[in-house]
Structure 1
C-alpha cells in the first residue's frame, strides 16, 4: 500500500499456521489411524479437505521444469539491518532471512489454510487436538550436513520461548511441553483448556534450528554471524545499509520434495537497501536491481516513462491480489491519557480527508479501507447477522458503555467527503465531538479542564508520508489541535515502537484467510503492554478478548466468519485507528529476464519462489543491465 512495503513485516519469520482438518473431513484413506480417534496425515488444514493427496508430485501452480540459475534482485528504502538473528527483540533483522530456514511443514499458495510436510513427513494428532506429533524425514539436513533431529525441533521451540521475542511466548502460551519420543519423532502437548484449532499448524510452521550449532552462543544477542539453517539458500553477503544476498545451495537436502518442486529457481536472491524510495527507484531504472513492486501511486501513475520501459526492456504489470487487504492506517496509542476517550479518537479520524487525498495525491488508484478485515468474506457490513447478534448480545456487559449503538447498528464506516479539500461538514462534527469530550477552544487551541493542550505527534521512519500527513495536520489545526509530523531514523523508530513511545503512527497488519491465534498479538489484552508486541493501539478490552477466544475455537467457517465480523464491528466502533486505503492488486515492474507460471496462485505473487530467469531473455538484456 501507499508508503508501506507489504513484502516485509516483523512477522516474516515463522508465520503461524492456520489450523487443521477434522477427521470427518479427511479423504478416504487419508489417515490410517483415524478410526482410533488419531489422525496421521501428510498435511493439515483448518476446515475442509486438503487439495493435495498424499502422493502429490508438486503444487499445481508451479512449473516443475523451470530452469535454475540467474539472479533475482529487488530493493527498497529507507532501511537497514544490524542483525541476522530474526528471532529476538534486540536488533533490526535483515530482510528475507527466512530463505535460510526450513520448517516442519510448508503452506500452499492456492488454499487458504493448508500445510504439507517439509522437514516432517507426517503429522499425527487426536480429534480434540490436545497434542500433535511429527515424524521427521531421516534425510533432512542442516547446511553443514548434520542431520535434523527431534532434539533440534524441541530446542528450537524451547530456546525461543526462553530467550526469543516476547510475542512468541504470548502466541504459544497454549504449548505445555515438547517431548522427544525418538530420534525423528517429536510431540507437542497443548493446554486442554485453550483454543487448540490452530496449534498443530502453529508449531508446524516454526523454523528449525540446530541445537549443536548454538552451543556456546548467546541466542539473545544481536549478531551479524549467519545462523546455521537448513533452507534452500545460504547467506552470501551481509553488508548492513547496503545489501543482503543469498545463494542457492547445491547440496540442499529437500529439492525433490513435493512442496519444493518447481520452486526456488534463482541461483541468487538479493535485496538492496537505499536511503529513500526515490533513490531506490532510480537504481531500478538503471538496472541496478531488476524487480520492483510499486507502493507509491504517484510514481506508478507518472514515473514509468523511462527509456528502458519504452524500449520494452522493462515489463510493467498489474496482477490480482486475492488476499485480505489488511489493516493499514494511522494507529492511536490508547495507552496515553489524551486518547482514552473514543470521541477524541473519532474526531481526529474524521479530519483525514481520504477522498481529497485519493484524487489529489493517489491518482484515484485506491479505495477507502473500512474494515480491519478489508477485502474478504470476514469484513462486517450493514447490520449484524443473527449469528453476529447472538455473539455480541452475550458480550454486551463487557463493551464500553458508549459503544453498543455502533456495535449493534450499522457497521461503522468513515464519512465520505466531496473531495474538495474543504471538508467543512466533517470538521464541524469533529469539533462537536471534542467539545463533548471536554476539549474546548481556549486562545485558539484545544484544552481540557486542567488547561492541557491537545497536542499529537505523528511518528514515522520515512519522510515519504509527509505529503499525506501534512494536509491531515492542517485539518486538525483548523479545529484547534496542535499536531506535528516527526521523522526519525529506522533504528530509533523500531525502538520507540517496541517501547510504545508514540502518539500516532502508520502501521499495517496482515490478516489471514483463516484468522486465529495471531489476533492475540494484534488486539488481545495480554499483548497490550508486552514490549515489542504488534498490539500497536494497546487494545485491552474483555469483549475483544472473548471474541478472539471464540475465533480461535471456531470449528467451521460459519462460526468463524460470524465471530470475526463481530470482532470487526467492535474494533471499528472503538475508533483505535484512522483507516487509510487499499487495492486488490500488485503493481509490479521488472527487467524482462523473468518468466512466471501461466496461472498465478490465488494467495501469492510468487516472485521469490515460483518465477525463474529465462536464459535467452537474460542473454539479450545482460549488456543493458547495470551492476
Structure 2
C-alpha cells in the first residue's frame, strides 16, 4: 500500500465507526478535525511533527518574484496582490496539517464540534486571540468575516457562503454555522476562512483593492514597508498572540523579516540571487539547476542546494485552451493541438529530458487515473455519462508521445488528420475551413516568463508545419491578470495545484457554475454534467473506496477532455538558499508547500 492510501486508510476504521454511530448526538468538542476518521495528533500535542520547537528567532529571508503588485488586500478580486500575502498575515479558526491529507487543528479556535452528519460546525474561540493592533478577536469579527467574504470577497469564498443556512453566536465566544446542503467537506472549509477585524472596515468599501488600506489580521507577520511593484517587507510581530499560546505555532514563524523583491524578468531575478540580494529561490528547470548553480557563492558553501521529495499530486501545468472561443470548442481541434506539441523535443531542449511529463491532473499519486479502460467503481460512475464523454474517457486515453526529433512527423500527421476531422484542411499552405477562413489564435503570456516564451517559440514552429501561424502576445503582470480574470484569451499558461484531499475547490477549478464568472479558475471554460456530478460525489463520499474512485473518474474526464497541453511535472522540489537559512530534518508529506517556507525555517548563524 502506498503512502497516500496509508494516510487515508489509517483512519478508515474510525471513519466507518463514526458514520455507523452518527445518530442522535454530534461529535464532542475536539482540538482538531479530519475529513475521515480522527486527527493523527492527540489533544495534548505540543508542536507539529515537522516543526522545530527549539528554533531560534531572528534573521531574514528574501525571495524574488517576476512582475509587480498594486494591491495589499488578498481577500478581494480587484488588484494584483503578492500571492504569498494571505498565507503570511492572515489566520483562520483552524489550520491544516502538512503531514495529513485533510486534517485541521485549532488556531483562532480552541475547539471544534460538529453535528451527527456534519450538518453544522461550532467553534469556541481562543480567549487569547488578538489582532495585530492588540484588540481581541471576537465572535462579531468572525461572523462579519464570513458574511463579508461570502458576499463581497474574492470568488474563492463565495461558493462556500451559498451553502451556509445561518451563522450565529450560540454562547459567549462560540460561533455555529449551519449548512443548507449535504456536503461533508463544508465543516473543513469553514475552519479555513480568514478572520478579519470588522471595525477597520466601517464606512469602507471592502471590495476595493489598492495600497491605501492594509487589512488588520491576527497573524504572526505584519506589513512593515513596501514600494509598489518593487518590494514588500513583512516583519515578525513580537507581540503575536499565538507564539507560545497554541501548539500549531510552536517553532513556526521564526524569521524576523520576510521580504519579497520584484523583478522585470527571470534573468534579473536569478542574477539578484547570485549576488546575495535574494537569499532563497526555487528552481523548476533541472537543466538550469545542473548547469547554472555553480557560481562562487555555491562553490564557497555560502549558498546551499537542497532537493526535497513530496507526496503531492502533479496538478496541471501547461497551456490551456479556452473552449469559450470557437477555435477550441471542438475536442478534435484540441487533440490536434496536443499532437502538434512536440513535448519530447521541447523537454530535451529545456531540461535535457530530465523531467517527466504530467500525464493527468492527479498523476504522481494514488488518486490519478489508471491506464487503459475504466473498470470497477470508476466505470460504474462514468457509465451514465457515456453518450456525452469525449472519446478515450471510458476506453482509455494517454498523451501523444513523439520520437524526440524536431520534425515529429507522426505527431504532425496525426494533427493534420484531427484538424481534417474537425473540418479544417491545409489550402495553399494555410489551415482553412470549407469557407476559406484561416485557423488562427493568440497565445497570451506574461512578460518576463522567459521559460514559457521559449517553449511557445518551439511550439509555434511546430504549428507552422500544419499551416497554423498563431500570434503571441506578452504583456505586463497587471494587464495579464486583468485579461485572464476577464477570461479574455485563446490560449495561455495555466497552473492548477490539486491535493490529496480534493473537495469544494474543484467546483472553482472546473465546475459549470464558475465557467463564465470573472476571475474564475476554470480557465478552459468546461461545462460538463459528468464533472459536476463527480465533484458532488467525492464531496458526499463516506468511505475511502468511493472517494478514491470519484477522483479517479474525475481525473479521466478532465484528462481525456484535452483542455490543457501539459508540460513537465516537479515530483521533487529544488531550493537554493543562504546557508544560514535552515529547516527541520523532518519533511512533511506535502513537502515544500504553503505553510512550510518560510514558516518552519529559521536563521542559524
Q: TM-score range by the shorter chain?
A: over 0.9
Distance 1:27 1:122 in 2: 22
Q: How do 1:490-501 and structure 2 match up within 5 A?
A: 490-501=477-488
Runs of 5+ consecutive residues of structure 2 not aligned to the other structure: 1-7
Deviations 1:525-556 (A, max 9, x none): 00110110100000101111111111111122
Matched, 1:422 2:407: yes
SS of structure 2 residue aligned to 1:495:
helix
In the other structure, the counterpart of 1:88 is 76
Runs of 5+ consecutive residues of structure 1 not aligned to the other structure: 1-17, 616-627
Q: Structure 1 residues 181, 22: closer, same or farther in 2, change over 3 A? A: farther
In the TM superposition, what is the alpha-carbon distance from 1:296 to its structure 2 partner? 3.1
In the other structure, the counterpart of 1:407 is 393
1:245 to 233, 248, 260: 233
Q: Is the 8 A contact 2:129 2:241 kept in 1?
A: yes
1:451 to 436, 448, 451: 436
In the other structure, the counterpart of 1:187 is 176
Q: Is the 8 A contact 1:95 1:244 kept in 2?
A: no
Distance 1:482 1:63 in 2: 55
In the TM superposition, what is the alpha-carbon distance from 1:499 to its structure 2 partner? 0.9
Deviations 1:336-373 (A, max 9, x none): 11211100000011111111111122122210111011
In the other structure, the counterpart of 1:554 is 541
In the other structure, the counterpart of 1:132 is 121
In the other structure, the counterpart of 2:378 is 388
Deviations 1:240-260 (A, max 9, x none): 111111111111111121100
Distance 1:171 1:455 in 2: 39
Distance 2:160 2:179 in 1: 12
In the other structure, the counterpart of 1:621 is none
Distance 1:568 1:95 in 2: 27
Matched, 1:591 2:582: no
Please report the RMSD computed on the Cα atoms of aligned residues, expressed in angstroms: 1.9
Matched, 1:483 2:473: no
SS of structure 2 residue aligned to 1:350:
helix
Distance 2:237 2:560 in 1: 51
Q: Structure 1 residues 570, 96: closer, same or farther in 2, change over 3 A? A: closer
SS of structure 2 residue aligned to 1:597:
coil
Deviations 1:122-152 (A, max 9, x none): 1111121111111001111111111111111
Matched, 1:37 2:26: yes
Distance 1:270 1:516 in 2: 32
- Bigger mean CA offset, 33-42 vs 136-145: 33-42
Matched, 1:229 2:217: yes
In the TM superposition, what is the alpha-carbon distance from 1:26 to its structure 2 partner? 9.8
Distance 1:424 1:22 in 2: 50
Q: Structure 1 residues 591, 24: closer, same or farther in 2, change over 3 A? A: closer
In the other structure, the counterpart of 2:528 is 541
Distance 2:92 2:395 in 1: 44
Matched, 1:577 2:567: no
Distance 1:511 1:94 in 2: 21
Matched, 1:310 2:295: no
Q: How do 1:190-205 and structure 2 match up within 5 A?
A: 190-192=179-181, 194=182, 196-205=183-192
SS of structure 1 residue aligned to 2:392:
helix
SS of structure 1 residue aligned to 2:201:
coil
Distance 1:265 1:347 in 2: 51
In the other structure, the counterpart of 1:526 is 513
Show structure 1 runs of 4+ deviating over 3 A: 21-28
- Bigger mean CA offset, 330-339 vs 604-613: 604-613
Q: Structure 1 residues 25, 381: closer, same or farther in 2, change over 3 A? A: closer
In the TM superposition, what is the alpha-carbon distance from 1:394 to its structure 2 partner? 2.4
In the TM superposition, what is the alpha-carbon distance from 1:508 to its structure 2 partner? 0.6
SS of structure 1 residue aligned to 2:247:
coil
SS of structure 2 residue aligned to 1:180:
strand
In the TM superposition, what is the alpha-carbon distance from 1:27 to its structure 2 partner? 10
Normalised to the residue count of structure 1, the TM-score between the two structures is 0.90
Q: Is the 8 A contact 2:49 2:586 kept in 1?
A: no
SS of structure 2 residue aligned to 1:289:
coil
Aligned residues: 584
1:144 to 133, 139, 142: 133
SS of structure 2 residue aligned to 1:482:
coil
SS of structure 2 residue aligned to 1:250:
coil
1:208 to 195, 220, 229: 195
In the TM superposition, what is the alpha-carbon distance from 1:323 to its structure 2 partner? 1.3
Matched, 1:295 2:284: yes
1:442 to 427, 430, 450: 427
Q: Is the 8 A contact 1:245 1:269 kept in 2?
A: yes
In the TM superposition, what is the alpha-carbon distance from 1:108 to its structure 2 partner? 1.1
Q: Structure 1 residues 26, 255: closer, same or farther in 2, change over 3 A? A: farther
Q: How do 1:268-417 and structure 2 match up within 5 A?
A: 268-382=257-371, 383-397=373-387, 399-400=388-389, 403=390, 405-410=391-396, 412-417=397-402
Distance 1:353 1:48 in 2: 45
